Structure formats: C-alpha cells, structure tokens
Amino acid sequence: MAVTLEQARRVGYTCLKALLRFAFMVANNLVAIPSYVLYLIMLQPLRILDSKSFWYIEGVLFKWLLAMVASWGWWAGYTVVEWGDDVKAVSEDEAMVLVNHQATGDVCTLMMCLQDKGTVVRQMMWLMDHIFKYTNFGIVSLIHGDFFIRQGRTHRDQQLVLLKDHLEKYYRSRNRKWIVLFPEGGFLRKRRETSQAFAKKNNLPFLKHVTLPRLGATQVILKTLVAPQENGTPSGGDTRRKESKSKGLQWVIDTTIAYPKAEPIDIQTWILGYRQPTVTHVHYRIFPVKDVPAEPEALTNWLYQRFIEKEDLLTHFYETGAFPPPQGQTKAISREMTLSNLWLVAIQSFAFLSGGMWYCLFQYLYHCLF
C-alpha cells in the first residue's frame, strides 16, 4: 500500500517529537540526578548534626525528581483517573501499597498519581527488581533507601532476610511512611502462564488479567512494621518505633492499575511519547491492617483474595470502560488527577539551573587548582 504525503508527514512529526523528547529526557537526567547527589554530598554535615532535617530535604528533592519523570508523561497526554477510596485521607499514616504489575510504565504512573497525595512521595520506600539498580535512577533509589530484590527461588530466602534487615535499618530512621511493592513478582505477560499452571494444579481460580501473588515480601513487611498490639505478633525495630513514637503500619492500600484495551504503557512510550494521549485508570481500596491476618496460611488466602478481586475489577473495566461501584452503591465515582504545569516547569527550571550552577562551580575550582 502506497504511503500518502499526509501519512509520511505524520510519521515524520512523530519521529521528530520522539527524538526531541528523548534529547530533553537525557538532558534532564544529566542535570537533575548529579545535582541531587551533589546537594546531598554538600549536606553531609547536616546529616550528622540533624538527621531528621537531612532526610526531610532529601525527601523533597526525591519528590521533585519523581515529578520530573511524571512530567514526561503528563506533557505527552498520559493522564490518570482515580477510582475507589480516597487515599489522601491516609496520606499521613503508614501504609503498604499492593499494586498489580503489567509493564515498566506502572512505576511511572504511580510516580504521577501519588504526587498530589501530601508527603507520600518524599516519605515512601519502593521495592523493585534488582535490575533497576543499574539504571540511570539507580543511584537515586540507593541513596533514598529503596530495596532492590532479586527474583528467583534460589535467592528467595536470603532476599527476605535482607529485606527485614533493610526495613529495620532504614524505614523509620528515615521517617518513611508508605512502602510500595508488586506482589506478583514480575510483569503479567511473563508470569501469567506459570501462574495459571500453578492455579490449575492447586485448584485455584484461573486469572487472566493478574497473576497469583507471592507471600514472602508482604509477610516480612507486616511482621517488621506492624505494631505488636495491632496484629498480636512481635515486630522488628521496636527501639526505633519508641524513638519515633510511630503507630506502626496502619493500612494496606490495594491498588489496581488498568489501561484502556489492556494495552499497558512501557517506559519507552512514556519517554518518547509516540502513543496517542491515554488515560490510565487507578483503583484504590483501603484495608485497616488490623483486619489483615498474620498467620502465613490465612495471609496467603487473604492476599489471593485481593488479586481475585483485582481480576474482577479489571474484567469489569475492560468490558465497560469503568470500574464497578463500591458494594452498596449504584454508581462509581471517578476523580481526575491533575498536576500543575507551572509547578512542573518550576521544578524543571530548578534542575537545569542547579546543573548550570554545579558546572560553573567545578569550572571555577578547576581553574583555581590548575
């Protein structure tokens, strides 16, 4: 089939736009990430004198970095509509966020839709695959105190021990409040077949839109971060809890991400913006942690039930274009999540000005020394 002039122009425009966006993203990373690292190096004396203030500043810079990532999608027309419970109501409490995982764009979507949830972004900890340690954002996550987990049966037991130690060492000492994890342990397309085979073997529901979750990390987080009086079991980090007067983990936020036509957005699309503007839908359901069972078998069943519910939510969404109304209600209410373009421009401007400042400073030092 012959390509018309109009089609050629459209393809050319899309390629040019993608190239310019990629160039901007590279420049953005080259100034923002080194600036984040250098600011924190300069603030090391404050870390010794007033650790709380240091991690407050680090959290603000971390939130701005995530806002920059969110801006790449926002300006390409990749927006978010939210459904279900309003998580702003628990934004100042400690919470564990359970998210279904379809593509690399899931993380970007969360970076965007949590920006307007108070202090959540600057006080959150992420659990992510260890491969992300070697990306451009790896150094930022290492400094912030996120946990990189290795997948696979051979690493599983050791990783859970390391996770427990990591939480006890960093979670409350850095005043973290939300912890985000993907219990499926990988992307839907990679795990679906294995999960369905396991479900068939163990007489569990057949799932198409999610996979059966893994218990390990969820159990470690609950055991380590939930206050003893809430689940009746000892938890780690008691000394730090007393020092910070923390109430412990109070909520579990079951988060379901849905893409139109079940076509997830990956990080390449988020960066290059070659896909047409897309609305991603995010559904929240909040559970008090006291209602979450502590025993492994009961917790496994509880976690399976959450993902069975996710399957029902996504099935309804793909059939109707909307999530179902909450039980007892006749209509589901959606909320359009918005970001301020002025705020995003201000943050980007600060990043580039910081990059220029550090460049001039190093040029000056170089000339002074040599």
Res 291 pLDDT > 90: yes
Cβ-Cβ contacts under 8 Å for 216 (sequence gap 6 or more):
156, 159, 160
Res 240 pLDDT > 50: no
**Residues 54 and 7 sit within 8 Å (Cβ to Cβ):** no
Which pair of tokens denotes residue 146? 């996120």
239 pLDDT band (50/70/90 cuts)? very low
Q: What is the share, in percent, of the chain residues with pLDDT greater than 70? A: 94
**Residues 53 and 116 sit within 8 Å (Cβ to Cβ):** no
The reported pLDDT for the residue numbered 1 is: 55
The reported pLDDT for the residue numbered 7 is: 76
- CA angle 67/31/141 to nearest 5° reads 55
pTM of the model: 0.90
CA distance 198 to 200: 5
146 pLDDT band (50/70/90 cuts)? very high
Q: pLDDT per residue over 206-236, tens digit each?
A: 999 999 999 999 999 999 999 765 444 444 4
Q: What is the share, in percent, of the chain residues with pLDDT greater than 90? A: 77
What order do you get walking across the sheet with 251-258 strand by strand?
147-149, 124-129, 178-181, 95-99, 251-258, 278-288, 78-84, 334-337
With helix as H, strand as E and coil as C, how does 311-326 read? HHHHHHHHHHCCCCCC
CA distance 321 to 219: 34
Res 237 pLDDT > 90: no
Checking DSSP bridges between strand 251-258 and strand 147-149, what pairing results, if any?
A: unpaired
Q: pLDDT per residue over 71-123, tens digit each?
A: 999 999 999 999 999 999 999 999 999 999 999 999 999 999 999 999 999 99
The reported pLDDT for the residue numbered 229 is: 55
Q: pLDDT per residue over 160-182, tens digit each?
A: 999 999 999 999 999 999 999 99
